[in-house]
Structure 1
Amino acid sequence: MNKRIIMILAITASITIGLTSHVSAAAKGNSSTINQKINESDTAIELPGGGFLIGQGEFKGKDAQGNQFTINPATTSYKVTTVKEAQKDQKNELLAAETKNPLLESKVYLPTGDPSASPITKPATQSSITLNANQGYSGTMAGNKWRYARYWFSPADNTGGPYLRWESHGDSGLVITPWSGEGQGTVINDGQAKYIAGPYITNQTSFSSYSPAKYSYYYVGNW
């Protein structure tokens, strides 16, 4: 084998190794464009106030008062449907809220002129959902200035590590920790997915967005 052929093979091998290393590094960097993890036919459980759980088995968490809850799609009184239908219901719920006149409501839960269901502050510290393997959650974001998800999320113990997969759809957003200040967090652009770990021990993360585009939403899952 002459020197020219040897040189060509060496260059080819170097390129191959470089490409392989790049792919591996990209995977470890926990950032990617969206690849399908959620199917429209997956089971969804619609929760009061907006948002829905995704997947099979029991979901466990705590409400804003710290009371523990367990939700099972086989026994819950909440609406059990598909991801596709739950997305439609979220959009319709937000649209209905926008057409309401707060002055005609007997109880006004939201500021006048602001029909958004997205909270204006971070979730209460104890308000959380623990996600088992192949479980997830989705929430719609809307409103002016900074808006936040309703819960903190963490992976269940012994499910493969501290990371949750976050996706943003329709607008960019931030994945935040309980110690994040306003506007601080890990950026996720529209159409992007990232695996992100929360702080040590709690592993809690949540989502925020500034003046999010109408009907934009996020997914978080333990995949």
Structure 2
Amino acid sequence: MKIIKISIIGALLTTFLSISSINAAQYHNPIQHENENENIVNEMFSGLKDDDLVLEIEEGSFLAGPGVATCTNLSTGEVIAEYNVYSDENSITVNEAKDIILEEMNNPSTTYRGANPPSSNTLITLNYGQIYYSNKFSGSGWRFSEHQFKAKSGSGGDYLRWRSFIDSGRVGNYNEGYATKNSGTIQGTTLNVDQYVWNSEGSLGQIYFTYNPLAGTYYEVANING
């Protein structure tokens, strides 16, 4: 009888420990996920202090740094917007921007980026020291940035610094993006996750593109030498 009782108690203990382990895993997983998101957002804004200013120029995309960035209509050449982070009354702190992005990452909505290169879309010209943080990508197939980008003339050259988050991507000009999508020949420069790449397309605008991006993929582009 003692052997039977011991066996029953052992079985009950095993079951209890198994259930406890499952419950522990279910309890900790969301916390781990939230911490991963916090790490991603902190890495996105690395180099900036929490009280530095950024300007949300579109839902989920932010601009940091000094001077004026211009947004130009590529079809007409018209300057349709100018952004000055330090003088715009809508600027917020990096810490506030982190909260906005974390809220979206923890409670995601569906956002699809353009399925074609932005040939007749807009060009953002970055002043030296400015950084643009994109909104998120999702969707299947090739997906492209909503803008082309260039360095401001006289600000130190044609190179822009790029970085891709969550998933890898590529950077190139419109022709390279178009060929990649339509001819099956992958062109442009590879952007591995969280690695800086300096890229120049001479007088042409630069675009970001990625294939079957993991939901939440972002890119960063900056007019910075180092």
TM-score by structure 1 length? 0.66
CA contact (8 A) 1:166 1:195 kept: yes
Mapped contact 1:53–1:136 kept (Cα < 8 A): yes
Q: Deviations over 1:121-158 (max 9, x none)?
A: 22243511111110010112222221111111100111
Whether 1:70 and 2:82 are equivalent positions in the alignment is yes
CA distance in 2 between counterparts of 1:145 and 1:84 reads: 33
Q: Percent identity?
A: 27
Retained in 1: the 8 A contact 2:66–2:127? no
Q: How does 1:11-30 map to 2 (within 5 A)?
A: none
**Other-structure match for 1:201:** 203
Shift in Å, 1:90: 3.8
- Aligned partner of 1:175 in structure 2 is 171
In 2, the alpha carbon distance for the partners of 1:95 and 1:62 equals 33
Q: Which consecutive unaligned segments of at least 5 residues does structure 2 have? A: 1-42
Q: 1:173 Cα deviation (Å)?
A: 0.3
SS at match of 1:179: helix
Give the deviation of 1:165 after TM superposition: 0.4
Question: Which of 172, 191, 194 is the matching residue for 1:191?
Answer: 194
**Distance across 2 between alignment mates of 1:147 and 1:81:** 29
Provide the rounded CA distance (Å) in 1 between the counterparts of 2:47 and 2:120: 28
Alignment: residue pair count: 171
1:212 and 1:75 map into 2 onto residues whose CA distance is 35
Is 1:39 the equivalent of 2:25?
no
1:162 is matched with: 158
Q: What letter matches 2:115 in structure 1?
A: I
Instruction: Give, in whole Å, the separation in 1 of the partners of 2:116 and 2:70.
Output: 23
**Cα distance in 2 for residues equivalent to 1:220 and 1:164:** 6
Q: Higher Cα Rg: structure 1 or 2?
A: 2
Find 1:127's aligned residue among 119, 122, 143. 122
- Change in Cα spacing, 1:87 to 1:152, as seen in structure 2 (3 Å) is farther
1:56: Cα distance to partner?
A: 2.3
TM-score, normalising length from structure 2? Answer: 0.65
Query: Aligned to 2:71, which of 61, 66, 73?
Result: 61
The one of 141, 164, 178 aligned to 2:137:
141
Q: Is the 8 A contact 1:176 1:207 kept in 2?
A: yes
The 1:90–1:124 alpha-carbon spacing in structure 2 relative to 1, beyond 3 Å, is: farther
The aligned residue for residue 81 of structure 1 is 92
Q: CA RMSD in A?
A: 2.7
Helix, strand or coil at the partner of 1:85:
helix
2:141 maps to a residue whose letter is K
List per-residue Cα deviations over 1:192-218 (Å, max 9, x = no partner). 1110001x323x111011121222211
The runs of at least 4 consecutive aligned structure 1 residues that moved more than 6 Å come to none
| Cα displacement (A) at 1:72 | 2.0
Higher helix fraction (1 or 2): 2
